[in-house]
């Protein structure tokens, strides 16, 4: 089940990339994801789902780390 409104998943990923990693490039580097530049935006949701299982799990993982 998706707990996001349309576009909400992308906003959540962007928020975490900014708050936790300092941006998409740093998030991709830290995870070992190869894409750079405009390719990052095309692949970010796929990479997050591959690594964490879902966008919700990605958000939960990072939000719980802050508690």
Q: pLDDT for 3-61, tens place per residue?
A: 778 899 999 999 999 999 999 999 999 999 999 999 999 999 999 999 999 999 999 99
Q: Which two structure tokens, joined as six digits, stand for 27?
A: 């998030």
Q: Which two structure tokens, joined as six digits, stand for 48?
A: 């997050």
Residue 22 near residue 14, CB atoms below 8 Å: no
How many whole angstroms separate alpha carbon 50 and alpha carbon 63?
A: 19
- Say what the pTM is: 0.88
Residue 55 near residue 10, CB atoms below 8 Å: no
In degrees, rounded to 5, the angle at the alpha carbon of residue 28 between the alpha carbons of residues 21 and 55 is: 80
């Amino acid at each position: 089940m998706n707990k996001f409104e349309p576009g909400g998943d992308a906003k959540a990923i962007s928020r975490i990339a900014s708050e936790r990693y300092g941006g998409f490039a740093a998030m991709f580097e830290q995870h070992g994801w190869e894409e750079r530049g405009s390719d990052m935006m095309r692949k970010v949701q796929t990479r997050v789902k591959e690594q964490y299982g879902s966008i919700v799990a990605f958000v939960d993982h990072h939000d719980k780390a802050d508690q």
